[in-house]
Amino acid sequence: MARFSVGDRVRVRAVFPPTPPTHVRTPYYIRGHAGVIERICGAFGNPEELAFGRRYGPKSTLYRVRFRQADIWPDYEGAADDHIEIEIYEFWLEPNERENAA
Amino acid sequence: MSGPSDSHDHDHHHGHEHGHDHHHDHLHPYDPEHHHPHRDDLDDTMTYYKVMESAVRELLIEKGLITAEQVRHQIERMDARTPANGARIVARAWTDPAFKKRLIESPKQAIAEIGHDIGPMHLIVLENTPKVHNVVVCTLCSCYPRWILGLPPDWYKSRAYRSRVVREPRTVLREFGTEIAGDREVRVHDSTADMRYFVLPMRPEGTEGMSEDALAALVGRDAMIGVVEAGAGGMDRAAAE
């Protein structure tokens, strides 16, 4: 079951695993940032396990999350309405309590 | 991936190294001081992963699990996929609104209608509109809808494109000759995991009444990545160059 629904406000966990040996599909530049669930892509094998040949763990729900460019890059020079959308696995997301309470 | 593997350099086929019947001469003007116009062969270094690929492939063949012919055939199939496949999909979507709707809602089925199997690929079709311009990148590596478009261009895999297009997309687009109006959203799609992306560009003005084939010729690879609009930098221009 997907923990989040389309439109939910979420935050990417600000976790910076030591390297190596890790395999992470959440780009560094997006960690810690707040966005909105754009769509649910389905359940997929966890690449952080698959990378080490561990193929039988639980699947993770994959989301596409939408972020405002101006929130990510303080010096962003494009339009205020420019966005970036990224695929992020559920275990990298947490509810954005601050925003949801407001 | 060079370094220790460099020692493998000369184990391989260098029969052509000193031949002058190749295209090297086009790369540099003939210089009598340097009798040997030279660009490095792409296959002159056996990297760790190249060695591993050869070893695994040879083992699989030796054990009878696959044949060399099957490997060759897969490479041939990969090379047969070209942006022309994507251009046909775009041209059909421009001329058939019901197809376009199906393409966006269930790309695999819609693309199968025109004879392409996108295999295990999970495809998302991104429609450009007067309000939104989409552009695709894979910041982590080089994910690309190969099942439709074939292999990605080298610049798509470069660190410069991958790091810059997320941070300053409008500047990067401008370098491709694409100016997006300030009141039109630029939406970057970072292909980080299991989805692959395909941009459905806007149909250029003044193309009413054109045949599907003629329309397809306006759609180049770069328009389906989203760094240009259709008609700009399309295959027509590539053919003219």
Residue of B nearest to A45 (CA): B194
Instruction: For B210-241, give the DSSP string.
Output: --HHHHHTT--HHHHHTSS-TTSS-HHHHHH-
ipTM comes to 0.94
Given an 8 Å threshold on Cβ–Cβ distance, is A84 in contact with B122?
no
> Phi and psi at residue B132, in whole multiples of 5°?
-135, 135
Given an 8 Å threshold on Cβ–Cβ distance, is B192 in contact with A62?
no
Over the stretch B41-91, which tens digit does the pLDDT of each residue have? 666 788 899 999 999 999 999 999 999 999 999 999 989 999 999 999 999
User: How distant is the Cα of A100 from the closest Cα of chain B, in angstroms?
Assistant: 24
Q: Which of A78, A84, A89 is nearest residue B193 as measured by Cβ atoms? A: A89
Number of H helices, E strands in chain B: 13, 4
Question: By three-state DSSP, how is residue B15 classified?
Answer: coil
Q: Which of B166, B171, B194 is nearest residue A29 as measured by Cβ atoms? A: B166
Given an 8 Å threshold on Cβ–Cβ distance, is B187 in contact with A27?
no
- What are the CA-CA distances from residue A9 to residues A2, A64, A67, A95, A100 (Å)? 14, 12, 10, 6, 7
Identify the contact set of chain A against chain B, taking CB-CB distances under 8 A: 25-27, 29-30, 41-42, 44, 47, 62, 64, 69, 73, 76-79, 81-89
Is the overall model pTM greater than 0.80, yes or no?
A: yes
Which residue carries 């009444």 as its tokens?
B209
List the end-to-end C-alpha distance of chain B, in Å, as a whole number. 34
Residue of B nearest to A39 (CA): B124
Q: Which residues contact A30 (CB under 8 A, 6 or more apart)?
A: A12, A67, A72, A84, A86, A88, B190
With 0-12 / 13-18 / 19 or more C-beta atoms within 10 angstroms meaning exposed / middle / buried, residue A81 is middle
Over the stretch B97-107, which tens digit does the pLDDT of each residue have? 999 999 999 99
Over the stretch B178-217, which tens digit does the pLDDT of each residue have? 999 999 999 999 999 999 999 999 999 999 999 999 999 9
The winner for highest mean pLDDT among A62-66, B12-16, B138-142, B236-240 is A62-66
Given an 8 Å threshold on Cβ–Cβ distance, is B185 in contact with A41?
no
Given an 8 Å threshold on Cβ–Cβ distance, is B195 in contact with A81?
no
One-letter amino acid at A99 equals E
